[in-house]
């Protein structure tokens, strides 16, 4: 490979990392500025939808974008996605009430779906199987750095400037990424007439949208056994069944049936989904437990979680050495065992555990996730040609985000149920000091409650979080079992050398 080609690949990789940073920073940078957003726009009761609509739009569109990237090339789909995301960012910064902010966040989510579907696909086009593990480490490091920087950046904007800058900061980053991609990414896509699977795309969007919507609303917007939940999940099941029928007959299906009929892809997607549960469970509840139970400050609690964001990209970078020796499935299985070990550490945490114990658990979880995600994405990409790499990668990313949605719903329901049960059984001597709702417990522990009431609430919150930690251990075990169903050997597709053919760059 010529020095010029290497330079072009490097510039494109930088652009991909900057593009990934747009969606990696989004949730955490917005979360820290929510009090200021509500103070300016009002609409506190709708705050949850600022996050939900973004996640919903991003998740359900990933498979569609993955297929379009196979049909028309990665570059146009990625460029369109970045432009849509930046348009949503600019409009979100100009929002005049909470309803308009939610609508513009949905537009952001539509762009984020394209980014999530195509960035890893482009990386797979540019680098061969020996290099992809290292590149996945670079891309994963973006999430780790964003997890540390974005909350501080969002808090700084909210306190010293305006919350609107949490969206405006995306514009210069996206502009540089767009310039590099437009200038350096070259594809030789064979132009031919395609039969767009509009019916399949619509049904998949409906099925995924209803499923994610039901998971986001269940237990919060309405009870799980309410008529609304039953109707939404029944609609998702019906749309899924219709999508299966349509996709089997379509000439160019958006979600080809072989993705779910082959053990390799179906098993990998299922394992990826359960790994998504691990990420969301730990990210959501570990900081709260560290602050409210251990009594750590926000910075220290954030560091405990940030350890996972550090070991994840490191394990991803080193994964190639492992999967080239023992294979993709077994490398992911080693990662799964790391997550089981992490689950064991977390389930043994006491209310007065030393800080090094949750740090060790987060370290093990990050290492496990780095091995699982890199091995499965690189492995799946290596089994198909250029014309199917987008849909395979999109399926993996969709599975991960779907798993996160499922995890948020399940773990949220578990912790709320356990905590509410504990609050209702409070001893008589502290009943008057104990809040009556789940949402008030963390705030009370950060306030001035002392004595027996503080001890009881810490114990109640610890019990509810312990139930989540048990769920993490179960999810790690299920991830390993699902990986055992995946064939040990991934049939390697005879790839053209990187930088040639349809995936040429520069």
pLDDT of residue 401: 84
Q: What is the mean pLDDT of residues 186-212?
A: 76
Contact 259, 386 (CB under 8 A): no
pLDDT digits (tens, 9 = 90+) for 238-266: 988 898 888 888 777 877 888 888 889 88
Task: Say whether pLDDT at 321 is over 60.
Answer: yes
pLDDT bracket for residue 360 (50, 70, 90): very high
Contact 116, 390 (CB under 8 A): no
Cα angle: 234, vertex 240, 244; to 5 degrees? 150
228/457: higher pLDDT: 228
pLDDT digits (tens, 9 = 90+) for 76-89: 999 999 999 999 99
Task: Say whether pLDDT at 506 is over 60.
Answer: no
With a pLDDT cut of 90, the percent of the chain lying above it is 26
Task: Say whether pLDDT at 436 is over 60.
Answer: no
pLDDT of residue 295: 78
Q: What is the mean pLDDT of residues 70-81?
A: 89
Packing angle between helix 298-326 and helix 129-160, nearest 10 degrees?
Answer: 170
Lowest pLDDT segment from 123-132, 316-325, 387-396, 453-462: 453-462
Q: What is the mean pLDDT of residues 377-390?
A: 87
pLDDT of residue 277: 87
pLDDT of residue 432: 60
pLDDT digits (tens, 9 = 90+) for 279-293: 888 887 888 788 778
Contacts 24+ apart (CB under 8 A), 420-426: 422/459, 422/460, 422/463, 422/464, 423/460, 426/456
C-alpha distances (whole Å) from 437 to each of 48, 416, 442 are 18, 9, 10
pLDDT of residue 505: 33
Mean pLDDT taken over the chain: 82
CA 318 to chain centre: 21
Listed in sequence order, the residues at least 6 apart from 397 whose beta carbon sits closer than 8 Å to its beta carbon are 62, 66, 116, 117, 120
pLDDT digits (tens, 9 = 90+) for 138-181: 888 888 778 778 777 887 887 788 888 989 999 999 999 999 99
Listed in sequence order, the residues at least 6 apart from 504 whose beta carbon sits closer than 8 Å to its beta carbon are 186, 187, 188
| Rounded Cα gap, residues 74 and 276, in angstroms | 25
């Amino acid at each position: 490979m010529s020095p010029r080609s290497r330079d072009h690949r490097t510039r494109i990789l930088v652009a991909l990392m900057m593009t990934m940073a747009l969606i990696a920073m989004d949730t955490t940078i917005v979360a820290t500025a929510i009090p200021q957003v509500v103070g300016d726009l009002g609409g506190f009761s709708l705050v949850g939808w600022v996050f939900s609509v973004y996640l919903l739009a991003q998740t359900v569109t990933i498979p569609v974008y993955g297929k379009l990237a196979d049909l028309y090339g990665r570059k146009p789909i990625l460029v369109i996605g970045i432009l849509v995301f930046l348009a949503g960012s600019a409009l979100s910064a100009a929002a005049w009430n909470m309803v308009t902010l939610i609508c513009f966040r949905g537009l952001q989510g539509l762009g984020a779906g394209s980014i999530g579907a195509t960035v890893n696909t482009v990386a797979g086009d540019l680098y061969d199987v020996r290099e992809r593990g290292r590149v996945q480490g670079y891309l994963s490091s973006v999430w780790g750095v964003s997890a540390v920087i974005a909350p501080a950046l969002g808090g700084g904007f909210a306190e010293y400037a305006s919350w609107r800058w949490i969206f405006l900061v995306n514009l210069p980053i996206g502009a540089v990424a767009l310039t590099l991609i437009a200038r350096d990414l070259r594809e030789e896509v064979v132009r031919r007439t395609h039969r767009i699977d509009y019916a399949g795309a619509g049904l998949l969007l409906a099925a995924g949208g209803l499923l994610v919507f039901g998971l986001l609303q269940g237990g919060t917007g309405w009870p799980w056994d309410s008529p609304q939940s039953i109707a939404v999940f029944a609609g998702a099941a019906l749309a899924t069944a219709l999508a299966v029928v349509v996709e089997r007959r379509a000439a160019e299906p958006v979600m080809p049936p072989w993705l779910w009929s082959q053990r390799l892809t179906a098993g990998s997607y299922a394992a990826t989904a359960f790994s998504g549960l691990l990420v969301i469970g730990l990210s959501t509840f570990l900081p709260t437990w560290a602050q409210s139970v251990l009594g750590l400050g926000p910075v220290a609690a954030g560091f405990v979680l940030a350890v996972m964001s550090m070991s994840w990209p490191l394990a991803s970078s080193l994964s190639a050495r492992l999967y080239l020796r023992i294979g993709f499935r077994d490398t992911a299985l080693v990662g799964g065992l790391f997550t089981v070990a992490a689950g064991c550490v977390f389930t043994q945490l006491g209310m007065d555990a030393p800080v090094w114990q949750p740090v060790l658990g987060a370290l093990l979880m990050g290492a496990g996730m780095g091995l699982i995600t890199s091995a499965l994405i690189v492995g799946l990409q290596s089994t198909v040609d250029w014309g199917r790499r987008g849909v395979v990668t999109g399926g993996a990313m969709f599975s991960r985000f779907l798993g996160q949605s499922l995890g948020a719903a399940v773990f949220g329901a578990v912790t709320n149920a356990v905590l509410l049960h504990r609050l209702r059984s409070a001893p008589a001597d502290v009943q008057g000091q104990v809040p009556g709702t789940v949402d008030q417990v963390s705030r009370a522990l950060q306030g001035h409650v002392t004595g027996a009431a503080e001890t009881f609430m810490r114990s109640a919150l610890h019990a509810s979080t312990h139930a989540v930690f048990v769920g993490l251990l179960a999810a790690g075990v299920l991830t390993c079992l699902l990986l055992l169903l995946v064939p040990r050997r991934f049939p390697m597709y005879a790839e053209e050398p990187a930088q040639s053919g349809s995936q040429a760059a520069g």
